[in-house]
Amino acid sequence: MSNQRGKIDFLQGNDAIVEGALLAGCRFFAGYPITPSSEIMESMAAKLPPIGGVFVQMEDELGSIAAAIGASLTGVKAMTATSGPGFSLMQENIGLAIMCEVPIVIVNVMRGGPSTGLPTKASQADVMQAKWGHHGDGEVIALSPWSVQECLDLTIKAFNLAEEYRTPVIILSDAILAHLREVVTIPDHEEIKIVERKYPKVPPEEFVPFKADESLIPPMATLGKGYKIHYTGLSHDERGYPTDDPENYRKLIERIIAKIRNNIDKIASWDVKFVEDAEIVLISYGSSARAALQACIDARKQGYKVGFLRLITIWPFPEKIVKKISENSNQILVLEQNMGQVLHLIKETVEEGAKVYFHPKLGGEPFTPQEILKQIRRITG
281 located within any domain: yes
262 located within any domain: no
CB burial readout 43-59, b (16+ within 10 A) else e: bbeebbeeeebebbebe
Task: Find residue 308's DSSP bridge partners.
Answer: 273, 282
Domain boundary among 191, 221, 238: 191
163-187 pLDDT, tens digit per residue, is: 999 999 999 999 999 999 999 999 9
Asked if 300 and 179 sit in the same domain, the reply is no
pLDDT at 3: 53
Residues above pLDDT 70, as percent of the chain: 99
The number of distinct structural domains making up the chain is: 2
Helix (H), strand (E) at residue 184: strand 181-186
Q: What's the CATH code of the domain at 361?
A: 3.40.50.920
Do residues 274 and 295 touch, judged by C-beta distance below 8 A? no
Domain boundary among 142, 166, 191: 191
Q: What's the CATH code of the domain at 86?
A: 3.40.50.970
245-254 pLDDT, tens digit per residue, is: 999 999 999 9
Of the chain, the end-to-end C-alpha distance in Å amounts to 52
Asked if 157 and 296 sit in the same domain, the reply is no
107 located within any domain: yes
Asked if 130 and 277 sit in the same domain, the reply is no
Do residues 307 and 275 touch, judged by C-beta distance below 8 A? yes
pLDDT bin (cut points 50, 70, 90) of residue 2 is very low
Closest C-alpha among 206, 335, 316 to residue 268: 316
Asked if 183 and 292 sit in the same domain, the reply is no
321 vs 333: CA distance, rounded Å: 15
88 located within any domain: yes
Asked if 153 and 20 sit in the same domain, the reply is yes
258 located within any domain: no
110 located within any domain: yes
pLDDT at 6: 82
Q: For residue 221, with 0-12 CB atoms within 10 Å meaning exposed, 13-18 middle and 19 or more buried, which class applies?
A: buried
Q: For residue 348, with 0-12 CB atoms within 10 Å meaning exposed, 13-18 middle and 19 or more buried, which class applies?
A: exposed
Asked if 311 and 177 sit in the same domain, the reply is no
133 located within any domain: yes
233 located within any domain: no
Do residues 111 and 174 touch, judged by C-beta distance below 8 A? yes
3 state DSSP class of 380:
helix
Task: Find residue 306's DSSP bridge partners.
Answer: 280
CA 138 to chain CA centroid, nearest Å: 15
Which residue segment(s) compose the domain that 161 sits in?
Answer: 7-191
pLDDT at 4: 57
Beta-sheet pairing, 104-112 with 78-82? parallel
Asked if 175 and 316 sit in the same domain, the reply is no
Q: What's the pTM?
A: 0.96
Asked if 187 and 292 sit in the same domain, the reply is no
Helix (H), strand (E) at residue 336: strand 331-336
Asked if 14 and 113 sit in the same domain, the reply is yes
Asked if 282 and 164 sit in the same domain, the reply is no
What are the DSSP calls for 274-292, one per residue? S-TT-SEEEEEETTHHHHH
Residues above pLDDT 90, as percent of the chain: 97
338-379 pLDDT, tens digit per residue, is: 999 999 999 999 988 899 999 999 999 999 999 999 999 999
Which residue type, as a one-letter code, is found at position 376?
I
The pair phi, psi for residue 305, each rounded to 5°, is -90, 90
Average pLDDT over residues 55-68: 98
Domain boundary among 191, 211, 229: 191
pLDDT bin (cut points 50, 70, 90) of residue 46 is very high
252-302 pLDDT, tens digit per residue, is: 999 999 999 999 999 999 999 999 999 999 999 999 999 999 999 999 999
pLDDT at 327: 93
Q: For residue 135, with 0-12 CB atoms within 10 Å meaning exposed, 13-18 middle and 19 or more buried, which class applies?
A: exposed
